[in-house]
């Protein structure tokens, strides 16, 4: 028997079911898929359903259907974050019991003057967990990493972020905690996602360091934006991905990613486009920008 080695590449697409997939999500799904498949890697889908009140009914099914109709096949069973609460609770309690996280009872109103950077008011208050948000203490240090597309990114956790929430007052676990635990648990080696999460990455690096987890490689894609500069799907209701649009939208997403599908692919099936895409994938051609106006795409 040879020792089990972990696969060289495990990627993932991690949609939040607060709405349907739109063109911006297609770009993220496609890039993470092609980056994995082009090197024979695994590609997982994880449903980030941490926030039931913000979940749109039917969104989970619609997301999976859209992925299927666009030709995507994922490895293994899809994981839902709603099934992972025990794992999150265990780590959260351990951080709390070691004094690395603490309970915060500050109201939104109290924090208003601080513009989103928590000033540490409850750091040494010794509140218990009841009816409180749980915040992670951050060190007064700069964290940095080299992104495959965006290059070097630095952020001072104390100055630019402050102690951040890992469980909300209403008991819901925060994205930052869940994403780090799940990426590690699933053995993710490579994270390919939108540049709106670039400034979350240093928080995630700190959590990885704290918990002794391996740091994945990162590739943050330019965000597809509306003429008003907003991220697609946020303020503006961008249209859902329709099955009959799969070929033209996959071609458009490939071009947005700097790839060059030829005219002979104009009538290819989604599966053929994904196959072409993985055979010809060149991540160095992805535009090195934070945003990409949708109107500039073919």
Q: Which residues fall in the annotated binding site?
A: 12-16, 48, 104, 106, 118, 122, 175, 193, 234
Compute the distance between CA of residue 147 and CA of residue 189 in angstroms, rounded to an integer: 14
| Least distance to ligand GLU, CB of residue 71, Å | 20
User: Counting contacts by CB under 6 A, is residue 14 touching ligand GLU?
Assistant: yes
Q: Is 248 exposed, middle or buried (0-12, 13-18, 19+ CB in 10 A)?
A: exposed
Mark the binding-site residues for ATP, compressed into ranges: 234
Tokens of 252: 């458009």
User: Counting contacts by CB under 5 A, is residue 106 touching Zn ion?
Assistant: yes
Binds ligand GLU by CB under 6 A, chosen from 9, 10, 11, 15: 15
Compute the distance between CA of residue 170 and CA of residue 72 in angstroms, rounded to an integer: 35
Q: Is 174 exposed, middle or buried (0-12, 13-18, 19+ CB in 10 A)?
A: buried
Please give the DSSP secondary-structure letter assigned to residue 267: T
Residues 152-211 that bind ligand GLU (CB under 6 A): 179, 193, 197
| Least distance to ligand GLU, CB of residue 233, Å | 9
| Least distance to Zn ion, CB of residue 51, Å | 21
Q: Are strands 42-47 and 133-136 parallel, antiparallel or unpaired?
A: unpaired
Site string for Zn ion, 85-104 (x = CB under 5 A): -------------------x
User: Counting contacts by CB under 6 A, is residue 16 touching ligand GLU?
Assistant: yes
Burial pattern 91-120, b for ≥16 Cβ within 10 A else e, equals bbeebbeeeebbbbebeeeebeeeeeebeb
CB 157 within 8 A of CB 207: no
| Least distance to ligand GLU, CB of residue 259, Å | 21
Nearer to ligand GLU, 82 or 105 (CB): 82
Ordered DSSP codes for 160-211: IIBSEEEE-TTSPBPHHHHHHHHHHHTT--EEEEEGGGGGGHHHHHHHHHHH
Which of these ranges, 8-16, 60-68, 141-149, 164-172, lies near ligand GLU under the rule CB under 6 A? 8-16
- What do you get for the CA distance between the two ends of the chain, in Å? 52
User: Counting contacts by CB under 6 A, is residue 148 touching ligand GLU?
Assistant: no
Site string for ligand GLU, 30-49 (x = CB under 6 A): ------------------x-
Which of these ranges, 13-21, 105-113, 235-243, 252-260, lies near Zn ion under the rule CB under 5 A? 105-113
What pairs with residue 223 in β-bridges? 291
Mark the binding-site residues for Zn(2+), compressed into ranges: 104, 106, 118, 122
Instruction: Tell me how far CA of residue 70 lies from CA of 41, 169, 248, in angstroms.
Output: 19, 38, 11
Mark the binding-site residues for L-glutamate, compressed into ranges: 12-16, 48, 175, 193
Which of these ranges, 14-22, 48-56, 121-129, 175-183, lies near Zn ion under the rule CB under 5 A? 121-129
Contacting residues toward ligand GLU, per CB under 6 A? 14-16, 48, 179, 193, 197
Contacting residues toward Zn ion, per CB under 5 A? 104, 106, 121-122
């Amino acid at each position: 028997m040879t020792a089990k080695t972990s696969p060289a590449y495990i990627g993932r697409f991690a949609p939040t079911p607060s709405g349907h997939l739109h063109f911006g999500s297609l770009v993220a799904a496609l890039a993470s898929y092609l980056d994995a498949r082009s090197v024979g890697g695994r590609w997982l889908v994880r449903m980030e359903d941490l926030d039931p009140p913000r979940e749109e009914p039917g969104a989970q099914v619609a997301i999976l259907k859209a992925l299927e109709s666009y030709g995507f096949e994922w490895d293994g069973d899809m994981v839902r974050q709603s099934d992972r609460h025990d794992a999150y609770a265990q780590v959260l309690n351990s951080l709390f019991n070691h004094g690395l996280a603490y309970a915060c009872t500050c109201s939104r109103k109290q924090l208003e003057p601080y513009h989103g950077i928590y000033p540490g008011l409850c750091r040494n208050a010794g509140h218990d967990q009841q009816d409180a948000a749980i915040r992670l203490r951050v060190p007064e240090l700069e964290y940095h990493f080299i992104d495959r597309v965006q290059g070097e990114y630095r952020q001072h956790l104390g100055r630019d972020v402050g102690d951040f929430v890992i469980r909300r007052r209403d008991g819901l676990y925060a994205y930052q905690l869940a994403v780090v635990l799940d990426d590690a648990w699933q053995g993710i080696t490579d994270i390919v996602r939108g540049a709106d999460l670039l400034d979350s990455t240093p928080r995630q690096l700190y959590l990885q360091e704290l918990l002794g987890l391996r740091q994945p490689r990162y590739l943050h894609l330019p965000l597809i934006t509306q003429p008003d500069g907003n991220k697609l799907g946020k303020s503006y209701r961008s249209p859902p991905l329709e099955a009959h649009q799969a070929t033209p939208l996959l071609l458009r997403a490939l071009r947005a990613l700097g790839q060059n599908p030829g005219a002979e692919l104009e009538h290819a099936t989604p599966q053929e486009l994904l196959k072409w895409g993985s055979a010809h994938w060149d991540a160095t051609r992805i535009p090195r920008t934070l945003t990409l106006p949708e109107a500039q795409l073919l």
